[in-house]
Chains A and B, each alone.
Chain A
Amino acid sequence: MNIFMLLEMAADAMPDRVALVCDGESLTYGELLTAAKGAAALAIARGAERLAFLDINGPAAPVALFGAALAGIPYVPINYRLTEPEIAALLERVSPALLVSGRSAVPAGISAIAAGEFLALAKAGGGEDLVAPDEERGIAVELFTSGTTGVPKAAILRHDNLLAYILGTVEFMGADEGDAAIVTVPPYHIAGISAVLSSIYAGRRMVQLPNFDAGGWLALARAHGISNAFLVPTMLQRIVEHLDATGEQADLPALRALAYGGGKMPLPVIERAMALFPGVDFTNAYGLTETSSTICLLDPEAHRAAAQSDDPAVRRRLGSVGRPLPTVELAIRDEDGRLLGPGEAGLVFVRGDQVAGEYHGLGRQTDDDGWFPTRDRGWVDEEGFLFLDGRADDVIVRGGENISPGEIEEVLTSHPAVAECAVVAMPDPEWGEGVAAAIVLASGAQAAAEELQALVRGRLRSSRVPQAIRFVDELPYNETGKLLRRVIREQFAA
């Protein structure tokens, strides 16, 4: 199998429909197919064993993704926000490769070409006679993990995995001709890959916004009559804040669907967003790089049911990531691998054809029955809605007792003066690890550490009470909205 088939089907069925728009440039499905063939020919001519991409989003990214597929080599988008030494180290690992980038200093074996020139050469043609290889278990994409716990791992996504996800979740040409999706996630993120594959298979025009800011997003969405959008929580939060601060109306009459994921969504943000975009269908998508994107969905119906319900069990589902896709199985297990039931918190395992779960040099991480440990903690309610409770690595082990930061954070953020907080482990000579909390106060609000400690003591066991509380201006997030707990831990350990 080969993901190139998705583009071939789209170009065959709707050659003249616009596939993507960016900065005044646009490509139809037919033109995208031509460019992908040209890109494949270019990569083959340069002897590339990988097609790497180190740039902001633009038309060259999907051209490189499909060009690599046709050439039968992995597509490797690299995070352009990394430091110079980090980028240099990753480039050594992808050589020999054709690298789409404006860099001049590259290691041996790397042939670099700027995105503009790459796109122009690709569009000029070539590769008309190439046939997408059908290699068994061929690799489509390699994505470097963020490396928050060490050297970045190269996650492997095979053609089979990505196709299983797309064929299982997207209706071919399911979009109306006028539909358009605004793409703000960077090309090196799994959501950036799945945005391209889903949009192309659905026949939904992509409008790329390489650098996100709330005002720019709103203006572009209006100008292009955007019907669909995906945002990481931080982006949605900025849009909500922008609308509230300026008093501007959302004014997006064409917008029908807004999906979000990639990190924990603060409850006040989603509640406010639903109020600001009343007619819009909200979907929460939970997934990992290793699972070829989305594995669980909280669909628009569940959003509305939760927002309108007086039943606390239904109401709290606004903070859940929903239920697994029909093609994905989910299980919660304890530390010893014992299957847990509804309401019992443990480790989240998933299984399905889209689940790749493997890294270069480390092999497949699935067990003999195909279950992949996400290393996320969570529990499901009686109706199967999954609630996430942080990463397994974030658990605080205090005197042998496992403490999940999530339950403490939930109590702390229930205090009206607390805008945001993060609970982490800190070294403790007596208990091994202790509980520490970094707090961002709401604008103009005040709360004493003792008051917050008393709040936790009143609602949870005494072992959950933060022994250290720091008030900070903001919490550290990476650009896709992932909370960097490691940074906070280091601050408490210092």
Chain B
Amino acid sequence: MAARQYKAGMKLKSAVCDTQIMVLRVPAEPLDLRIGGAPALAGDEAGDGATIDPALAGGSLTGKRYTDAEETMEFLCTKGGEGTITVAGREIGIKQAKALPSSD
């Protein structure tokens, strides 16, 4: 599948594992976004029966934010799974944010 255009607020799921993510921030150009090696699915799209790429089974964690090295994009993992999140073949990692004291 070719790259596609995403926008903030879109909910996506993996075709090959339990991972679900929500788009927080993306660049204007289309992205080749995959989870566990298979293109991420939007809404009620169904997968093509592919299985997880063992080389991309590093897992995702609920509640973590994922971003590329340049922080041009950000996704929230709303449900963790087995697959690694990649964009254009590059793994995107957990955003390291300074822990803030609770203020509520």
Q: Interface of A with B (CB < 8 Å)?
A: 1, 5, 8-9, 12-13, 134, 136, 160, 167, 169-174, 181, 191, 194-195, 197-199, 201-202, 204, 228, 230, 257, 259, 261, 281, 283, 285, 287, 293-294, 297, 299-300, 325-326
Contact = CB atoms under 8 A, between A and B. Distances in A.
A8 B63 CA distance: 11
B101 A300 contact: yes
Interface residues of B, number: 20
Contacts of A198: 102, 104
A194 B104 contact: yes
B100 A172 contact: no
Main secondary structure of the interface of A (DSSP, over half): mixed
Contact of B62 (A9, A195, A325): A9
B27 interface: no
A326 B65 CA distance: 15
A1 B102 CA distance: 23
Given A5-B22, A134-B11, A173 B104 contact: no
B98 interface: yes
Given A136-B9, A171-B63, A172-B62, A293 B104 contact: yes
Nearest to B97: A326
A259 B102 contact: yes
Contacts of B104: 181, 191, 194-195, 197-199, 230, 259, 285, 293-294
Given A1-B9, A134-B9, A172-B64, A9 B100 contact: no
Contacts, number: 76
Interface of B: 8-9, 11, 22, 24, 62-65, 76, 78-79, 97-104
Contacts of B100: 169-170, 297, 299, 325
Nearest to B101: A283
Contacts of A167: 24, 65, 76
29 contacts: A5-B22, A8-B78, A9-B62, A12-B79, A13-B63, A160-B9, A167-B76, A171-B63, A171-B99, A172-B64, A173-B63, A174-B99, A194-B104, A197-B104, A198-B104, A201-B63, A202-B102, A230-B103, A230-B104, A257-B102, A283-B101, A283-B102, A283-B103, A287-B103, A297-B100, A297-B103, A299-B100, A300-B101, A325-B100
Nearest to B11: A134
A29 to B, nearest CB: 13
A195 B104 CA distance: 5
Contact of A1 (B22, B65, B99): B22
A285 B63 contact: no
Given A9-B63, A173-B63, A259 B101 contact: yes
Nearest to B79: A12
Among B22, B62, B100, the one with the most A-chain Cβ atoms within 10 Å of its Cβ is B100
